[in-house]
C-alpha cells in the first residue's frame, strides 16, 4: 500500500513540475501534463526495479524477486497510469462541455446541411449585389 502512495506522490510532483515549467515559459512547453507526469513515475519505477533485481532480498523477508517486482512496482505503476488516463479523459469531457454552444451546434451539423446553408447565404449575397447594380444602373440613366 505504501508503494502506491509513493508512486502517486511522484506522479503529482511531476504533474505540478510540468505546470510550473509551463508557467515559466512564454508559451506552453508541455501540452499534455497528464502523460508528461508519468515520465518521472516510469523513471523511478525502472530505477526501483533495477535496485530490487541487483540487490539480494532482505533475509527476514520471505519473498521472491518476481513477487517484489509485481507488488511494489508493476501494480502501483499500472494503477497510477490508469488514474492518469482516467483524469485525462475526464478533463477532455469538461473542456467539450464548456465550449461555445454555437460552435458545438455548427460542428454537429451534417456536412450537407452546412453546405446548403452556405449556398443559401451565397445566393442571398448575390441577389443583394444584383439589386445594388440595378439600382446604380437606373441612377446613371437619369
Distance between CA atoms of 82 and 21, rounded to whole angstroms? 24
pTM assigned to the model = 0.63
Q: Which of 71, 76, 68 is nearest to 51 (CA)?
A: 68
Cell numbers 451534417 correspond to 110
Per-residue model confidence as pLDDT tens digits over 111-135: 666 566 667 676 777 777 777 777 7
Which of the given ranges, 21-35, 50-64, 69-83, 90-104, has the highest pLDDT on average?
Answer: 69-83
Distance between CA atoms of 21 and 29, rounded to whole angstroms? 7
Amino acid at each position: 500500500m505504501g508503494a502506491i502512495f509513493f508512486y502517486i506522490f511522484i506522479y503529482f510532483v511531476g504533474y505540478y513540475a510540468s505546470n510550473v515549467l509551463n508557467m515559466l515559459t512564454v508559451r506552453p512547453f508541455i501540452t499534455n501534463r497528464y502523460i508528461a507526469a508519468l515520465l518521472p513515475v516510469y523513471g523511478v519505477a525502472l530505477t526501483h526495479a533495477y535496485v530490487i533485481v541487483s540487490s539480494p532480498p532482505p533475509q527476514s523477508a520471505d519473498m521472491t524477486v518476481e513477487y517484489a517486482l509485481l507488488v511494489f512496482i508493476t501494480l502501483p505503476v499500472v494503477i497510477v497510469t490508469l488514474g492518469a488516463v482516467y483524469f485525462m479523459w475526464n478533463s477532455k469531457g469538461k473542456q467539450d462541455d464548456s465550449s461555445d454552444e454555437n460552435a458545438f451546434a455548427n460542428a454537429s451539423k451534417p456536412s450537407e446541411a452546412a453546405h446548403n446553408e452556405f449556398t443559401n447565404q451565397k445566393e442571398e449575397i448575390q441577389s443583394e449585389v444584383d439589386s445594388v447594380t440595378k439600382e446604380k444602373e437606373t441612377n446613371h440613366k437619369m
